[in-house]
């Protein structure tokens, strides 16, 4: 049902299209004009016929009236036998009333009076005559009406007056007014036609605009299709101008929208590029043609170039490692989710000019980017040099730590077995074994303590437990602890202590640990028959402890580095002595936490002086 | 002003000594950029021995960190004294750097 209505509407709309509507209007106007004209013609014809009929009837009526009057007069004149007067009256009546015939006839047919005197047959009226008066008759023949009026002449007899008058219709009588009306109507119609003809042209333009307005109901209509023929008039020109304005404004709006869209996309791209540039990892996108489609700032920096040179260039110009190139090729040709990781030590331009500097190590992670049929490889470049150094140092430290732990443990195990074997036979040997076990246990404790200290330093939880610390007691204990080791190594160990040393507010264990590390190192790196001197002095608000040895000394390159974690001088003699490379680091960290410092002065092959200073009134951080 | 450099593993610690002012700032900037390029940005600036710095030096430091930021890095500054720290805070450039208490912490940040 709805479909039918829609079809009807569509057909109606098509029928009432701009071109048809004027044909219809013209047709309707023409039809109305034709109907009016026909109506007027019929009306005129009908009026004319009516008029003619009415004229005829009026003529007959006039003749009848005239006859009646004349009959009365004739009767009187006949009665008085005034024939001449009668004949004159008849003649006058004919002339005055334009009668065809007017005569008085006796029943025998004798004509007493006639408008035409030659037709009179009775010159003298007889005394009487046969025959009675007849009845009134009226006969119409053609355009004439003949009326016979009966006459009664007292004492003589009857007669009749016969009048014949012309009642010829006058077809144009009364037609003038109709014709005038018709003419006015025709004139009006002609005027209307002229107006219509004039207005039609202008109406065409308005109709076209109307049609365009109806079409414009559809919001998706193209404005350019709404234009009308400019020859249809000024309205059409103005309409087209308005449409042009609208079209231009629509174009401007569309342009603005496009601009905004482009700007937004550009902003998005810029944001994305800025985000990628903020990445510490290098990022490359390499196409099937092995050309770099995108490179972030970190990638350019890690490949020792700039983004401008990198983008669009062949990737093999900047990455020479064949494993990486092959991985990129594979990722471009056979897209999959698998990734390839290659660690490369760059050569060429990435090598540092400083030989002491650790060579860089880059990790290339290559994986394909799945994007329809495009074979794009994503290469992530990561600088893992420091990680690798740290890893190596950690492994080295673990190895050293394990060694440091294993050595006293082995000694303890060995001397425990000896003590068990000799305990009943030789009590002195057992005592010696127990002494060694005791020393090794303390050494083990120190190593473990150092490892824990380093761990605490690393995580930042290295804290002090302050208390009154008598430095002279600490130094005396230190002397007692190392006298045996010094004598075993035939090293002269001297302690030059003032009579009185101040009491410090410090962490006893940590200070003790630092002193042990410094003296232990002095003894460790001083060859046999050498000398180690410990001097303690007080200067105003600080106490100074010097550890002077006549050992192997430290080269100027190593002088500052020896305080670094895990660092061990590259001297072969140092390599042969076990050590974790943590002692000095921990010692300086501990002393710095107390507000003091440790410095070193050394000369290779002559000896070193480590100077420890501590504030008497604690000002530590 | 002297500039000491020291390797800590793969990280280079640059330690200027003395006030960082005037033409020294330009020389220092050039040296800093050179080392940063050689070490792929693994640089720590230890300014514990910088007693004070002027606007030219600040500008140089900002330039360096901006150049480093183009490759996803930031200039790491450690052991700044109170004067230097306040100068950076007051001039509003402090947020452009990564600050560390000491060189070790700064070096650890590369892990």
| Dihedral class, residue A540 (left if φ above 0, else alpha if ψ from -120 to 50, else beta) | left
**Distance from C-alpha of A172 to C-alpha of A178, rounded to nearest angstrom:** 10
pLDDT at A534: 94
How far B72 CA lies from chain A's nearest CA (Å)? 4
Segments of A413-491 assigned E as strands: 467-470
How far A273 CA lies from chain B's nearest CA (Å)? 11
Average pLDDT over residues A372-388: 81
Q: How many CB pairs under 8 A join A and B?
A: 77
Most confident of A140-144, A409-413, B6-10: A409-413
pLDDT at A353 over 70: no
Beta-carbon contacts of A359 under 8 Å, excluding residues fewer than 6 positions away, are: A345, A351, A352, A385
**CA count, 13 A, side-chain hemisphere, A433:** 18
**Distance from C-alpha of B106 to C-alpha of B95, rounded to nearest angstrom:** 16
CB-nearest partner of B6 from A298, A460, A560: A560
CB contact A42 to B (< 8 Å): no
- Contact status, residue A514 vs residue A567, Cβ threshold 8 Å: no
Flag if A390 and B9 touch (Cβ within 8 Å).
yes
**Distance from C-alpha of A547 to C-alpha of A535, rounded to nearest angstrom:** 7
pLDDT at A561: 78
CB-nearest partner of A357 from B7, B37, B105: B7
pLDDT at A16: 58
User: Residue A580 belongs to what H/E stretch?
Assistant: none
Beta-carbon contacts of B5 under 8 Å, excluding residues fewer than 6 positions away, are: B12, B13, B14, B15, B35
pLDDT at A620: 40
**Distance from C-alpha of A508 to C-alpha of B23, rounded to nearest angstrom:** 49
Of A121-130, A236-245, A474-483, B22-31, which gets the smallest average pLDDT?
A: A121-130
Tell me the per-residue pLDDT of A180-230, one tens digit each, with 9 for 90 and over. 877 888 888 888 888 877 777 777 788 888 888 888 887 777 777 888 888
With beta carbons under 8 A apart, name residues in chain B contacting A282.
Answer: 72
pLDDT at A457: 72
Q: N- to C-terminal Cα distance for chain B?
A: 31
pLDDT at A170 over 70: no
Nearest residue of B to residue A558 by CA position?
Answer: B6
Q: Write the ipTM.
A: 0.74
Longest dimension (CA), chain B: 35
Average pLDDT over residues B40-47: 89
Average pLDDT over residues A242-266: 87
CB contact A393 to B (< 8 Å): yes
Average pLDDT over residues B66-70: 85
pLDDT at A2 over 60: no
pTM confidence score:
0.49
**Distance from C-alpha of B68 to C-alpha of A383, rounded to nearest angstrom:** 14
pLDDT at A427: 79
Flag if B72 and A560 touch (Cβ within 8 Å).
no
pLDDT at A586: 85
Of A289-293, A556-560, A589-593, A609-613, which gets the smallest average pLDDT?
A: A556-560
Tell me the per-residue pLDDT of B21-41, one tens digit each, with 9 for 90 and over. 888 888 899 999 988 888 888
pLDDT at A535: 93
Q: From chain B, which residues contact A within 8 Å (Cβ)?
A: 6-12, 37-42, 69-73, 104-105, 107-108, 110-111
With beta carbons under 8 A apart, name residues in chain A contacting B41.
Answer: 301, 383
**Distance from C-alpha of A559 to C-alpha of A595, rounded to nearest angstrom:** 22
Average pLDDT over residues A419-439: 83
Tell me the per-residue pLDDT of A514-548, one tens digit each, with 9 for 90 and over. 998 899 889 888 988 899 999 999 988 889 999 99
**Distance from C-alpha of A2 to C-alpha of A211, rounded to nearest angstrom:** 24
Mean pLDDT, chain A, whole residue set: 82
Nearest residue of B to residue A362 by CA position?
Answer: B40
Segments of A51-201 assigned E as strands: 99-105, 111-114, 137-141, 144-153, 157-166
pLDDT at A621 over 60: no
Tell me the per-residue pLDDT of A20-39, one tens digit each, with 9 for 90 and over. 666 777 788 778 878 888 88
With beta carbons under 8 A apart, name residues in chain B contacting A389.
Answer: 9-10
Flag if A357 and B38 touch (Cβ within 8 Å).
yes
CB contact A256 to B (< 8 Å): no
Average pLDDT over residues A456-480: 82
Tell me the per-residue pLDDT of A288-298, one tens digit each, with 9 for 90 and over. 888 898 888 88
pLDDT at A546: 94
Beta-carbon contacts of A266 under 8 Å, excluding residues fewer than 6 positions away, are: none
What percent of chain A has pLDDT above 70? Answer: 88
3-state secondary structure A313-379: CEHHHCCCCHHHHHHHHHHHHCCCCCCEEEEECCCHHHCCCCCCCCCCCEEEEEEEEEECCEEEEEE
With beta carbons under 8 A apart, name residues in chain B contacting A361.
Answer: 10
How far A485 CA lies from chain B's nearest CA (Å)? 34
What percent of chain A has pLDDT above 90? Answer: 7
The single-letter DSSP state of residue A134 is P
């Amino acid at each position: 049902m709805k479909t039918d209505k829609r079809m009807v509407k569509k057909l109606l709309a098509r029928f009432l299209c701009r071109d048809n509507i004027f044909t219809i209007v013209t047709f309707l106007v023409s039809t109305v004009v034709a109907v009016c004209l026909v109506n007027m013609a019929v009306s005129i014809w009908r009026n004319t016929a009516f008029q003619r009929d009415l004229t005829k009837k009026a003529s007959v009526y006039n003749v009848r009236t005239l006859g009646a009057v004349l009959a009365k007069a004739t009767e009187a004149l006949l009665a008085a036998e005034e024939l001449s007067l009668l004949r004159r009256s008849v003649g006058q009546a004919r002339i005055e009333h334009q009668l065809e015939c007017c005569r008085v006839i006796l029943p025998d047919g004798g004509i007493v009076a006639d408008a035409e005197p030659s037709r009179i047959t009775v010159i003298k009226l007889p005394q009487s005559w046969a025959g009675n008066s007849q009845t009134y008759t009226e006969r119409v023949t053609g355009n004439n009406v003949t009326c016979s009026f009966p006459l009664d002449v007292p004492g003589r007899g009857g007669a009749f007056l016969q009048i014949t008058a012309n009642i010829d219709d006058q077809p144009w009588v009364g037609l003038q007014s109709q014709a005038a009306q018709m003419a006015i109507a025709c004139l009006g119609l002609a005027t209307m036609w002229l107006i219509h003809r004039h207005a039609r042209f202008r109406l065409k333009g308005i109709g076209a605009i109307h049609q365009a307005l109806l079409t414009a109901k559809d919001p998706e209509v193209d404005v350019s299709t709404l234009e009308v023929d400019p020859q249809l008039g000024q309205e059409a020109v103005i309409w087209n101008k308005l449409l042009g304005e609208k079209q231009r404004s629509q174009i401007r709006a569309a342009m603005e929208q496009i601009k905004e869209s482009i700007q937004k996309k550009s902003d998005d791209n810029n944001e994305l590029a800025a985000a990628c540039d903020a990445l510490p990892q290098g990022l490359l996108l390499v196409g099937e043609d092995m050309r770099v489609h995108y490179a972030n700032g970190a990638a350019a920096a890690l490949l020792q170039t700039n983004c401008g040179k990198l983008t669009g260039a062949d990737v093999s110009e900047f990455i020479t490692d064949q494993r990486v190139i092959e991985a990129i090729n594979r990722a471009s040709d056979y897209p999959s989710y698998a990734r390839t990781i290659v660690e490369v030590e760059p050569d060429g331009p990435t090598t540092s000019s400083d030989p002491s500097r650790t060579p860089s190590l880059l990790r290339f992670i290559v994986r394909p980017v799945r994007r329809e049929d495009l074979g794009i490889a994503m290469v992530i470049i990561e600088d893992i040099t420091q990680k690798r150094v740290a890893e190596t140092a950690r492994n080295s430290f673990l190895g050293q730590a394990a060694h440091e732990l294993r050595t006293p443990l082995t000694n303890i195990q060995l001397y425990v077995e000896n003590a068990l074997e000799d305990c009943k036979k030789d009590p002195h040997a057992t005592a010696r074994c127990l002494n060694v076990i005791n020393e090794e246990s303390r050494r083990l404790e120190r190593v473990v303590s150092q490892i824990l200290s380093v761990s605490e330093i690393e995580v930042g939880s290295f804290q002090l437990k302050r208390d009154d610390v008598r430095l002279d007691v600490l130094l005396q204990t230190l002397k007692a602890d190392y006298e045996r080791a010094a004598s075993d190594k035939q090293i002269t160990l001297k302690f030059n202590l003032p009579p009185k040393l101040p009491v410090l507010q410090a962490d006893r264990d940590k200070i003790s640990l630092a002193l042990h590390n410094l003296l232990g190192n002095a003894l460790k790196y001083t060859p046999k028959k050498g000398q180690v001197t410990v001097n303690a002095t007080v200067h105003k608000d600080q106490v100074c402890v010097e550890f002077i040895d006549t050992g192997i000394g430290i080269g100027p390159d190593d002088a500052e580095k020896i305080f670094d974690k895990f660092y061990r001088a590259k001297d072969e003699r140092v390599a042969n002595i076990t050590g974790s490379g943590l002692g000095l680091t921990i010692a300086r960290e501990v002393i710095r936490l107390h507000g003091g410092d440790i410095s070193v002065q050394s000369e290779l092959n002559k000896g070193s002086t480590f100077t420890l200073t501590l504030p008497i009134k604690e000002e530590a951080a | 002003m002297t500039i000491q450099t020291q390797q800590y593993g793969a990280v280079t610690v640059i330690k200027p000594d003395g006030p960082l002012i005037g033409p020294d700032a330009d020389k220092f900037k050039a040296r800093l950029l050179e080392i940063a390029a050689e070490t792929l940005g693994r640089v720590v600036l230890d300014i514990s021995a910088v007693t004070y710095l002027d606007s030219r030096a600040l500008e140089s430091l900002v330039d360096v960190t901006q150049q480093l930021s183009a490759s996803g890095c930031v200039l790491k500054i450690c052991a700044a004294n109170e004067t230097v720290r306040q100068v950076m805070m007051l001039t509003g450039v402090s947020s452009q750097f990564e600050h560390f208490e000491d060189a070790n912490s700064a070096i650890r940040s590369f892990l």
